Structure 1
Amino acid sequence: MSATRHSKPAERVGGSGHKPSKPEADGPTFNHLLQAWLESHRASLVDSLRRLLKQPIGSFFTCLVMAIALSLPMGLSLLLKNVERLGGSWQRAAQISLFMQLQASPQEAEQLRAQIAELPEVAAAEWISREQALEEFQQQSGLGEALKELPENPLPSVILVTPEKVDKANLEALRLRLAELPKVEQAQLDLVWVERLTAILKLGEHFVFGLSLLLVLALLLVIGNTIRLHIENRRIEIEVIKLVGGTDSYVRRPFLYMGALYGVGAGLLAWLVLAFGLDWLNAAVVKLAGLYGSDFSLAGVPLADGLSLLLGAVLLGYIGAWLAVARHLNELAPR
């Protein structure tokens, strides 16, 4: 009994007979913490993806609703860009026409064109000779045979000035300045067309912006309501997790990944919808343009715009999920 009572620790069951080694550290290392953090995020991502795949029809239709809401403003924006490309740039639509005096020689007109092109307010300047102006007028007016009977060319040479920026006050000031140049008979600018063009573009931009805001709010409501249903289905599980010490960030993480996954699916679907829609519409546009002797066609979805659409969808899904979880997180405390 005495020997047993006073036995050394090394002689007990499981003793090694050696002195205990010095502990390596006073807690987990940074690598261990990083690995645990990455493993937690990986598990949350896999769990969220698995739950979405268990309900493929519901997940698909949720992504489809989000995709339609995303594709509407992006599609309108792409159509505006194509229409602007069809009509030419709006700087070119605001050209100032300088009609030269009839006695101005081609050398004087070219020298004046080069002088105007160097102005900081001018983006480009193009000289059209009298012969070229007459030829274009014959082709466009249909009076070619009648104009050939004229004793001499009545049309002056023209310098077309494209401004750097389109602004009514600046354009009028530039027109007055160019009208005072030597050998210039008249400087003409269609300010009414400039104002109409500016108003049309701004109206389209405001409409797309307003529609985008409304659809963003609708997307947040859709994703928030969807995440709320997932939270209700897992209420008991979440309460147990919080009961054993699970943090709010741990509870929130899988739902955030779920929202981001909804965003990925919606962004890819929206990209496909836009690509298919523009391609389907392009056939009718090409046929119509061919009737007017034009080779115009709609441009597809640029890669940068498609990636921006995908990134925006992921962010909207993430934000919507975060708002939904933040709203219901306090209600999930264990009872």
Structure 2
Amino acid sequence: MKHWLRLHRLALAATLRLFAASPVSSLLNLLVVGIAVALPLGLYTVVANLQQLSDKLPTDPQASVFLRPNAGAVDIARVEAAIQDAPAVKSVHRVSKDEALKSLERSSGMQDLLAGLGENPLPESFSLTLDREEPTMLDALATKLQADPAVEQVQFDSDWARRLSGIVALGREAAFTVAVLFGAGLLLVTANLIRMQILTRREEIEVSKLIGATDSFIRRPFLYFAALQGILGTAIAAGLVAFALGRIAKPVDQLAVLYGEHFTLSLAPAETLALAFLVVIALSLLGATLSVGKHLRALDR
């Protein structure tokens, strides 16, 4: 056990010497890894924040039916009966002219201006909660209601929410695709960096082989180098993403305030960051293993 720990301690010391021997080059390599990891991690973080926003939105499809200003009691009763008979409607709420005006006064703060209008200009309307989201059924309901002469407009209020959900789903797939592509790029970059390290120590490796060094002994410092590079590169990536979120957090919140909301961007959760560290370390180790194995096979030949 002591011998095993000593070997790993020697490998770690050799790895630190490799970083110290060329600090500028090592820093540039870490920045390359950090940027490669920051792009998919940042995209995933944006998608995760959009998912949080989407989860706050009502999931049931909504619709509003606005009547013409001259619609009478008979017209209102006929439209309400048609809405209640529709199978796609879960619930319906009638919004009278007075109720609509009071709601507008509360939301706009223009009580004095609205009071000077004399006659209430707002129409009667119905607020619908729909039970189904099949496009054909919703289109049929809209066509049926729009055909009534008392109906001015039929508006589906949750279309934008469904579009946002679609954007989130697309962003999730895009983040996965980008992560796979940059993961492959990280594998190749690590393999190339290790190859360059091997070339600079070629004579040392050949001498070590001649005096009986095992492949594991030769391979171990490069694996430590790749793992440490992956850890530091991922830490840099997390820092870059946090910096970017900090830059845009205030404008995003100001935009949300315009819609009556407060929205705070947040970094990916700890388990996601831990997974990112593990994946980057695994890819770095795989790239180093392939590169060192190829060189050792060449020496054996």
Normalised TM-score (structure 1): 0.64
Contact persistence 1:223–1:259 (CA under 8 A): yes
SS at match of 1:89: helix
User: How far is 1:84 from its partner?
Assistant: 3.9
SS at match of 2:58: helix
1:95 is aligned, of 40, 61, 65, to 61
User: How far is 1:270 from its partner?
Assistant: 0.7
Pick closer, same or farther for the CA change 1:154–1:41 going to 2, 3 Å: same
Q: Which has the higher Rg, Structure 1 or Structure 2?
A: 1
Residue correspondences, number? 269
2:41 is aligned, of 56, 60, 74, to 74
Pick closer, same or farther for the CA change 1:250–1:36 going to 2, 3 Å: same
Which has the larger share of helix?
2
Matching residue of 1:207: 174
* Aligned-partner Cα distance in 2 for 1:195–1:288: 20
Matching residue of 1:54: 21
Contact persistence 2:64–2:157 (CA under 8 A): no
Matching residue of 1:279: 246
Contact persistence 2:34–2:234 (CA under 8 A): yes
Matching residue of 2:192: 225
User: How far is 1:298 from its partner?
Assistant: 1.9
Deviations 1:79-119 (A, max 9, x none): 22323434x338735525599xx88xxxxxxxxxxxx8xxx
SS at match of 1:277: helix
Pair 1:305 & 2:268 matched: no
Pair 1:288 & 2:263 matched: no
Q: Which one-letter code corresponds to 1:232 in the other structure? A: L
Pick closer, same or farther for the CA change 1:253–1:160 going to 2, 3 Å: same
User: How far is 1:323 from its partner?
Assistant: 1.6
SS at match of 1:226: helix
Matching residue of 1:319: 286
Pair 1:238 & 2:205 matched: yes
Alignment of 1:1-335 (within 5 A): 34-86=1-53, 88-89=54-55, 92-96=58-62, 130=95, 135-136=102-103, 139=107, 145=115, 149=119, 154-156=124-126, 158=127, 160=129, 196-197=163-164, 199-333=166-300
Pick closer, same or farther for the CA change 1:152–1:78 going to 2, 3 Å: closer
Contact persistence 1:68–1:270 (CA under 8 A): yes
User: How far is 1:245 from its partner?
Assistant: 2.7
Normalised TM-score (structure 2): 0.70
Structure 1 vs Structure 2 CA RMSD: 4.2
Using the aligned pairs only, state the percent identity: 33
Pick closer, same or farther for the CA change 1:265–1:222 going to 2, 3 Å: same
Pick closer, same or farther for the CA change 1:331–1:130 going to 2, 3 Å: same
Unaligned runs of 5+ residues in structure 2 are 66-75, 78-89, 139-153
After TM superposition, which residue ranges in structure 1, 4 or more long, deviate above 6 angstroms?
Answer: 131-134, 172-175, 187-192
* Aligned-partner Cα distance in 1 for 2:160–2:300: 64
Deviations 1:151-204 (A, max 9, x none): 999444x564688xxxxxx757998xxxxxxxxxxx996796577445433432
